[in-house]
Structure 1
Amino acid sequence: MRLCSFTPANIDLRKKKIKGIIKSSKGYKEATLDLPDAVYNRCYNKSSKKLRPLERMIGEKYFNKITHFNKWDVYRQLEKSELKIFTPKTFLYDASILPDLLEAWKLLYLKPVYGNKGKNVYRLEQIDSGSILISSHSLAPRYICERHEDIGAKLKGILGEGQFIMQRGIRSRMINQCLFDLRLLVQKDITGNWLVTSVVSRVAYEGFFNPSILKEIYDGELLIPQFFTVEKGFKLLKVLNNLSIKAAELVEKHIGLLGEISVDFILDETGKPWIIEINGKPQKVIYQKIESFQHRKLIYQRPLEYAYYLSQLT
């Protein structure tokens, strides 16, 4: 298999050529090659518009066309599926219904529709006095909206421009007084089938709710037994795997051909898993921080295997 890294600007459809970077015996060099047999998109993009002409020429062999997912669109697909019961109730941000949601839920998260890495995520909690605590990253409130204040007006100056979603907050389990999530990396293999490559747990700093700013990261298969018996832990891993593969299949039907995604879960106080987020361009640098991680090579290898599988299709 020959690999070439290129950008949309390097495609010459008239000559049916691409200009890119390839690896040679002396390192990396520029080269002009025929159109690729398959394309693995590594850009972080909301649209596949730029590469549609190439796709028309090589066929449906261009995967992960859209990697910056719209959280509201993804939620609507989950909400219409059997995964609904594992997905926190979510609405597009609407200041007029926010007080009612806080009254009912007590805890919710505001997230940018096109957010990433936990940026601009706000935690809103209504306490017994009726005051609303607004936090960013840490559990300690950054702003307090008193009972008599207008929460919509307060947030207008905080949120700025852009759409947000309102996601019901789930009271989740903790490890050593720290919140954590479970991230499953789901990838297609050389047969074109979805598989779970890894399960890791990102642990937030104590007093913080955002595991993207992580204190530690563990192999999830080693962490889960700390909460459950061997039998229950094995059963939970099986459930997480099945949910993640179903989520990948569902998102692919909506967005188009995919080769990898990651699915983030939390466990509530009863141990039930909840899908918190689905990512179209999984961060792989986080896996370098796990000393015992056994799949370091596989997480990079599987997308190439899938690209090879696509290249062999006629």
Structure 2
Amino acid sequence: MLKSKVAIQVVSSGMLPDDTLMLGDYYVKKWKIPQGQPITLKFGGFRQHVKAISAARFDGLRVGQTLARKMGLSGNATLRMQYKADTSTLMLGPLIGVLVSRDYPQQSEKPFGSITMFCKELVDACRTHGAYVYFFTPNMIGSNANAVEAWVYADGWKRATVPVPDVVNNRLTSRKLENKPSVQQFLKAVKAANRTSVFNEKFLDKTEVFDALKNDESLIRYLPESHLLRNYTMLKSMCSRYSSVFLKPVRGSLGKGIIRISRSEGGEGYQAMFTTAAGAQKQNYGSLLKLFSAISSKMKSSRYQVQQGLNLIEIQKRPVDFRALVQKNAAGKWTITSIVARTAGNHHFVSNLARGGTLSTVTEAVVKSNLSAGVSRTGTPARLRSAALAIAKGIEQHIPAHFGELGIDLALDTSGRIWLLEVNSKPSKNDNTPLTDNKIRPSVKLMLQYSRYLSGF
């Protein structure tokens, strides 16, 4: 099958009939496209019978304004093109839809809030590499299985009616939104009607991840002991085995709601440390039972995971962990996009940037840390990369859902052992460093490359 990137020109309807497109002579000959005979034009969920006419000394594709409007094109574009002779179909794409949680129509410069920069960067990448992208929210989904209302970028952000896409990147950051019947029905419908690929199609719960991976012998070494906290007996059992344990909301994020439990410094009773925006708050209890009684009200509103406490490496008594961004590439294979070290802020015991954590390179953090003297510091970055890749492959193998990118949080204890903390199926797009010189980050390029792989363009 021959493929090519082609410039699409939108011309006034008076220049071309609505059912006709003009194609450079090179493409007509290369693909043996019949002239003057009906062929099918496909763009995402859009299909229409058209006639192709050849143009000498022209290497693009021209369509009239009316046809462009039906296709959801707001102006000139650069797309990939294929022709399938067996079905007489001229396909343009890939058409990518990014499903985001919310929009702010009154903010014309930042209609997607803090992720607007990521969205514009993806637009620029698509223009450069031959693709078309739009952004839509659950509120923009209607009953039409062939088209949606969406935001496109054409000299500014505008709303338009566009065909359903070849690929949906689910960037919803709310389980409530993701589970809306209208959202689930839409995703099911486009998969069935248009063979649309949907990736990062669901959130991951902490217990779901650990329960799935502990059946994989190659990954057990990365897993701290971890259970869904069901009762006091389980907490007592874990506290008898480990000097500290962590309670984490099964569906939590950004370090919210985490509780660290350990023996009080004097040896009498137990101490709980709670994460707050201002820093960790300590509370002492005379017994573990009193501690459990005090926090059990939290258990009524959300499920908690109890996890073995780890003796993490530190920099100036501030814990360090690592966030790996793992993505699928142009060949559909998992690859490491980046790994950064995150050092907890003062008075915090979690490293999230939302809690005052700071970023650095893995090497810099490891060199500055209290890692035991006998452990190789130079080999640590490679071991972290290997662990992140193995865990991503394990998620794909053991959890029945389609993921194209994962944020994998790893830790290193002072003896040099690597541990998995959690896996995030909706890694943040708004805490990256600002762009310079209009460069497109590798994470955006890979998202585009994987979309091309899924759509066959």
Query: How far does residue 258 in structure 1 lie from its aligned partner after superposition?
Result: 0.9
How far does residue 87 in structure 1 lie from its aligned partner after superposition? 0.9
3-state SS of 2:379 partner: helix
Find out whether 1:2 has 2:132 as its counterpart.
yes
In structure 2, the CA distance between the partners of 1:206 and 1:9, relative to structure 1 (3 Å rule), is closer
1:77: how far off? 1.1
Cα offset, 1:85, TM superposition: 1.3
Change in CA separation of 1:160 and 1:296 when aligned onto 2, cut-off 3 Å: farther
- CA change 1:288–1:104 in 2 (3 A) is same
CA deviations over 1:41-78 (Å, ceiling 9, x no partner): 11124456342222222326110101x31111111012
Post-superposition Cα deviations, 1:248-284, rounded to whole Å, max 9, x if no partner, equal 1222231411110111111111011111111111123
Task: Please state if 1:243 is matched with 2:362.
Answer: no
**Does residue 59 of structure 1 match 2:204?**
no
Amino acid at match of 2:321: D
Specify whether residues 224 and 148 from structure 1 end up closer, same or farther in structure 2 by C-alpha distance, changes over 3 A only: closer
1:266 is aligned to 2:401: no
CA RMSD, aligned part only?
A: 2.7
Query: 140-149 vs 175-184, which deviates more?
Result: 140-149
Alpha-carbon distance in structure 1 between the residues aligned to 2:448 and 2:248: 33
Amino acid at match of 1:242: S
- 3-state DSSP class of the match of 1:288? coil
Instruction: Pick closer, same or farther for the CA change 1:129–1:100 going to 2, 3 Å.
Output: same
Aligned to 1:120: 257
* CA positional deviation for 1:176: 2.1
Question: For 1:245 and 1:88, how far apart are their aligned partners in 2?
Answer: 18
Question: Which position in structure 1 is the counterpart of 2:359?
Answer: 217
* Residue 135 (structure 1) aligns with: 273
Mapping for residues 34-73 of structure 1, pairs under 5 Å: 34-46=163-175, 49-50=184-185, 51-59=187-195, 61-66=197-202, 68-73=203-208
Aligned residue for 1:166, secondary structure, equals strand
Structure 1 residue 14: Cα displacement: 4.5
> Are 2:248 and 1:111 equivalent residues in the alignment?
yes
Give, in angstroms, the shift of residue 181 of structure 1.
0.6
Greater mean deviation of Cα atoms: 233-242 or 180-189: 233-242
Match of 1:299 in 2: 443
What does the per-residue CA deviation read over 1:95-145, in whole Å, with 9 as the maximum and x for residues that have no partner? 222122112112000011110101011000024624110001389653212
The one-letter code matched in structure 1 to 2:221 is I
Alignment partners' CA distance in 2, 1:296 and 1:2:
16
Amino acid at match of 1:249: K
Taking a change above 3 Å as real, the CA distance of residues 296 and 17 of structure 1, as seen in their structure-2 partners, is: closer
Write the distance in 2 (CA, Å) between the matches of 1:28 and 1:186. Answer: 30
Q: Is the 8 A contact 2:232 2:289 kept in 1?
A: no
Q: Which residue of 1 aligns with 2:112?
A: none
Q: Is the deviation greater in 159-168 or in 247-256?
A: 247-256
Aligned to 2:286: 146
Q: 1:9 to 1:125 in 2, by over 3 A?
A: same
* Corresponding position of 2:10: none
Q: Which moved more, 1:40-49 or 1:107-116?
A: 40-49
Give the corresponding residue for 1:80.
215
How high is the TM-score relative to the length of structure 1?
Answer: 0.88
Distance apart, 1:296 and its partner CA:
6.7
Q: Select the structure of larger CA radius of gyration.
A: 2
Residue 257 in structure 1 maps to residue 392 in structure 2: no
Deviations 1:5-44 (A, max 9, x none): 12345445656112211111x2121222222111111112
Q: Between Structure 1 and Structure 2, how many residues are aligned?
A: 307
> Measured at CA, do residues 38 and 148 of structure 1 come closer, stay the same or move farther in structure 2, by a change above 3 Å?
closer
**Deviation per residue, 1:151-198 (Å, 9 max, x gap):** 331221354411101001001110122111111110111221111111
Give the distance between the partners of 1:279 and 1:151, measured in 2 at CA.
Answer: 30
Instruction: Give the 3 Å change call, closer, same or farther, for CA 207–280 of structure 1 in structure 2.
Output: same
Q: Which residue of 2 aligns with 1:89?
A: 225
What's the % identity of the aligned pairs?
Answer: 22
Q: Matches of 2:308 and 2:288 in 1, distance apart?
A: 23
Q: Tell me the CA shift for residue 149 of structure 1.
A: 4.8
CA distance in 2, matches of 1:275, 1:202: 14
Distance 2:287 2:248 in 1: 23
What secondary structure sits across from 1:144 in the alignment? strand
Amino acid at match of 1:71: K
Secondary structure of the residue that 1:248 maps to in structure 2? helix
* Structure 2: distance between partners of 1:142 and 1:268: 23
Q: Work out whether residues 190 and 196 of structure 2, in 8 Å CA contact, stay in contact via their aligned partners in 1.
A: no
Shift of 1:206: 3.2
